[in-house]
Chains A and B, each alone.
Chain A
Amino acid sequence: MNRWTRRAFIGAGTVAGGGFLLGVAGFTFAPGRHSLVSADAAAKGQLTTWITISPDNTVTILIPHCEMGQGSQTALAMMTADELDADWSLVRVQEAPALDAYANGYIVRAAGGHYVPAILGRGVDYGAYKVAEWFGFQVTGGSTAVRSTGEYGMRVAGAAAKEMLIAAAASQWRVSASECVAKRSAVSHAASGRSAPFGELARSAAAQRVPTSPTLKRADSFTIRRTSPVRLDIPSKVDGSAKYAIDFTTPGLLYAAIEIAPVYGGTLVSVDTAPADAMRGVKKVVKLPEAVAVVADSFWRARRALAALKPEFSDAGHGEVSTASIFAAFDKALGAPPGVPSNAAKAVTADYRVPFLAHATMEPMVCTAKVDGDRAEVWTGVQDPLNARSVAAKALGIDSANVRVTNFMLGGGFGRRLPFTFDYVDLAVRIARAMSPAPVKTIWTRENDIQHDYYRGAALSRHAGALDGTGVPLAALSTYTGGGNGEAVFMPYAIAEMNAREKKVEHPIRLGQWRSVLNSQHGFFKESFIDEMAHAAGKDPFEFRRGLLGHQPRFKAALEKAAMMASWGTPLPPGEGRGIAICESFGTIAAEVVHAAVSPEGRLKVLNVYAAVDCGDVVSLDGATAQVEGGIIFALSAALLSEITIAQGRIVQKNFRDYPMIHIADAPAVVTEFLRSDAPLGGLGEPCVPPLAPALANAIFAASGVRVRELPIRNTPLKRA
């Protein structure tokens, strides 16, 4: 990190009205050349984080990440303001516009630079440093905002701005800068008793030499970090004033409802538009290669007219695909379980399976577009407005520079609004082109959303383990389908022989990134299996794991903490049980204990969840806690209920009735504690998802003796034999 901050490029200037403006560059890469910052970054305005201090003493922080409820805009502002020693009550936050200048290059530096978030795997070949395309991203995903943009951009900007304000005060007062201190948005000099607010110093601070290597605070002198200020976006979310893409309006706005080929890859064969043409408010029926849209003067009228049509679509040759055919192919590819060592006293084998899942963000996909000649304007909600801009430009065959994207608060993301998944932008701009120059808002119905997602992949995993005569594990081996990577399959345990091998199986279901990505499947596989090995060894599942973690102090500490929080080992009434699981993802270790009850009739009630989380350090304590709670509830809903199935190449589920979610009645109490380690900051949006399903399955086994090896859990009868 030090090397990076020294080489970071910082630029400063004044703004209208005598304020102060300071930014820090991310990085740029050119093919064949690897450097952190391009020589002409300043000329190009390639500064990704910005601080503006106005004469009235307000501090405005421009943040290159969207807000989808994860609270990272607030956390990033806290990191900046802490280094700046600003008065938190004077800090304002703005989301950066979708311009190249705000591409957030820091993301790739997270986790020591050896790990590129899977969401960007298709855009970045980090091994070869071929990241020319990378510079087109302004992504929010991979739990990276705080640990990359925050650590490598926002903190440096805050610290540099503070040094310049102090230098300005020192020069004005003719004292040494080392005798001046900044505190609560003012610089003071104790010996002379002088003090000046940042706002008064801003203009002359902008003329100071820009420090290229500002000193960052030590953790023990943080004043804003580790506290729990109110999240800046919350007041607007309790009175209906928060604006999402679906709320955008503009004079002359038209509305589009769409029907997309039900089998992915299918095309529109024919449609008689007459029934819709005559209906009230209908402006036009727009035929696209893969969809038909009705544009009307209200969304309800568009949708009603669309329902009157009977479009025919081709099935792209996938009309025979079903959930059963996909799992049969998985099973065939895996073949026999991995062979275990010949000296094993006991062998354990198990298959685990997980379904396709939809994201089902509460706000469905929405995009408004206005196309006028070779220019376009787009209003939407995405996790990467720069990629959305290039998708719109490509769909229209125009230059990206001619497309303006305005991003709104997201009504949930969870990976559905990541780059490479902007079909809703692509469709919306083509519909708008057909109505040019009228602005058209294309709203996906919940049915569109559930049936045309980029799904979390289904997967089957086949495990074999071996124990010696005393219950010591000798091997934990698996083969799996459905995708994986080193992080997802990693088991921290000291077992002599461990490996997980992927068997590739192609299928035509469109896949994407779902909160916690491949860890969501593999967390369930590996932490269910180690539990089965513990029981096969006749040992307590917590003690069994702990005994294998002597070489992994962070894992061991988190596991022990979760067990202690849950009073692991104390007696429970009959029909109740505790289950434990631990996973590392996105640089964070999360250990969870689930306390559940299974009635004699097989009714499951999840009572409590205890989470011990080591993400290095916590920036916004309450915001971080909310992410842990949210990750657990999100994972619980999926573990209990969620399943996308395929019949005749089509997605079977349509809406919340057949793709149900848990309600407040099903939500357990959640207790969260953070362990502060010296590890680099880890992510928080995702890491608490993976351990939940295995901890719950393990708790069900403890409570009922029924081993759940398939998600969702509702597919397994829990009635005790």
Chain B
Amino acid sequence: MAITLTVNGTDHTVDLEPEMPLLWVLREALGLTGTKYGCGISACGACTVHLNGRAVRSCTLPLSAVDGQRVTTIEGLGSGGALHKLQQAWIAHQVPQCGYCQSGVIMAVAGLLAQNPHPTDREIDAEISNVCRCGTFVRMRAAIRDAAAAAEGATS
């Protein structure tokens, strides 16, 4: 069944099973491997992408649910060749270790900041439930605070 979706601004028509999770469509059919497989049950968040601007876990999201929708992956988060402010903050704070979970974390936090540009620590804790086995949470929080502050600077 042909399904059309827009990924990082480009339209794609794919003829795949409608129940195939978006994660595997992105990785294997479209070659966008920045989005990672971690658990397959929406428990770890490594596969987080944006669906119409909202963070979703793509490992359990069927292709049929994104027909005609707009998907953004880590590869499309920055704009005009520039890194997103979160990606910049991630480098400034040297957040990643192994890095495998970080695409998903950055997409989850970008989704949060899009809805709530100045989240409190409590709101961050409530919204961000990604697993990071290297234990980079201390730096993640610092980077999120910085990026949120940068957003404030940009809008004021």
Contact = CB atoms under 8 A, between A and B. Distances in A.
Contacts of A414: 133
B86 to A, nearest CB: 8
Interface in B24-66: 24, 27-29, 31-41, 43-44, 46
A637 B135 CA distance: 9
A663 B130 contact: yes
B24 A242 contact: no
Nearest to A445: B40
B87 A664 contact: no
Given A71-B97, A362-B46, A631-B135, A443 B78 contact: no
A491 to B, nearest CB: 27
A347 B75 CA distance: 63
Contacts of B99: 69, 233-234, 236-237, 242, 409, 411
Contact of A299 (B24, B46, B139): B24
Given A409-B98, A411-B98, A246 B91 contact: no
B124 A664 contact: yes
Interface string A203-246: 00000000000000000000000000011011111111111101
Nearest to B90: A238
Contact of A661 (B128, B131, B136): B131
Contacts of B129: 663-665
A69 B97 CA distance: 4
Given A69-B98, A362-B36, A667 B46 contact: no
A412 B91 contact: no
A127 B39 CA distance: 44
B150 interface: no
B140 interface: yes
Interface in A289-305: 298-301
B97 A240 contact: no
A630 interface: yes
Contacts of A68: 97-98
A695 to B, nearest CB: 16
Contact of B133 (A237, A412, A664): A412
Given A68-B98, A231-B94, A411-B98, A239 B134 contact: no
A443 B37 contact: yes
Contact of A632 (B33, B95, B135): B135
A140 to B, nearest CB: 12
Interface string A233-267: 11111111111101101000001000000000000
B74 interface: yes
B40 A240 contact: no
Contacts of B78: 239
A298 B26 CA distance: 12
B28 A240 contact: no
A381 to B, nearest CB: 10
B43 A243 contact: no
Contacts of B91: 230, 234-235, 238
A362 B20 contact: no
Instruction: Describe B's contact surface by its main secondary structure.
Output: loop
A656 interface: yes
A61 to B, nearest CB: 20
B100 A630 contact: no
A503 interface: no
A657 interface: yes
Nearest to A446: B39
A98 B133 CA distance: 27
Interface in A404-420: 409-414
A49 to B, nearest CB: 24
Given A233-B99, A240-B75, A629-B138, A446 B24 contact: no
Interface string B1-39: 000000000000000010011001001110111111111
Contacts of B40: 445-446, 655
Contacts of A443: 37
A364 interface: yes
B136 A630 contact: yes
B98 A633 contact: no
Contacts of B138: 629, 633, 667, 669-670
Contacts of B135: 629-634, 636-637, 667
A530 B141 CA distance: 35
A300 B124 CA distance: 33
A93 interface: no
B125 to A, nearest CB: 3
B78 to A, nearest CB: 7
A362 B139 contact: no
Contacts of A632: 135
A664 B141 contact: yes
Contacts of B101: 362
A703 B47 CA distance: 39
Nearest to A411: B100
B55 to A, nearest CB: 14
Contacts of A238: 83, 87, 90-91, 95-96, 102, 106
Interface in A613-662: 622-623, 626, 629-634, 636-637, 655-657, 661-662
A510 interface: no
B100 A363 contact: yes
B105 to A, nearest CB: 9
Contact of B126 (A236, A636, A665): A665
Interface string A347-385: 000000000000011111000000000000000000000
Contacts of A231: 94
Interface in A521-549: none
Contacts of B97: 68-71, 626, 630
Nearest to A631: B135
Contacts of A676: none
Contact of B102 (A71, A237, A255, A299): A237
A551 interface: no
A362 B125 CA distance: 20
B41 A361 contact: no
Nearest to B37: A246
Interface in B115-134: 124-126, 128-134
Nearest to A447: B40
A280 interface: yes
Nearest to B28: A298
A300 B26 CA distance: 12
B31 A664 contact: no
Contacts of B100: 244, 361-363, 411-412
Interface centre among B27, B91, B135 (most CB of A within 10 A): B135
Contact of B17 (A280, A662, A669): A280
A717 B37 CA distance: 35
Given A69-B97, A411-B100, A412-B133, A247 B41 contact: no
A657 B41 contact: yes
Nearest to B34: A240
Contacts of A656: 38-39, 41, 43-44, 131
A363 B90 CA distance: 20
Nearest to A414: B133
Given A230-B91, A233-B99, A298-B24, A663 B128 contact: yes
Contacts of B21: 300
Interface of B: 17, 20-21, 24, 27-29, 31-41, 43-44, 46, 73-75, 77-78, 83, 87, 90-91, 94-103, 106, 124-126, 128-141
30 contacts: A69-B134, A235-B91, A238-B87, A239-B78, A239-B87, A240-B74, A240-B75, A240-B103, A241-B34, A244-B36, A246-B36, A249-B33, A255-B28, A300-B20, A300-B24, A363-B38, A363-B100, A411-B100, A412-B134, A446-B40, A446-B41, A626-B136, A626-B139, A629-B135, A630-B97, A633-B135, A656-B38, A663-B130, A663-B137, A665-B124
Given A233-B96, A298-B29, A663-B129, 12 more contacts: A234-B94, A237-B99, A238-B87, A240-B74, A361-B98, A362-B133, A364-B38, A626-B97, A637-B135, A656-B38, A664-B141, A665-B128
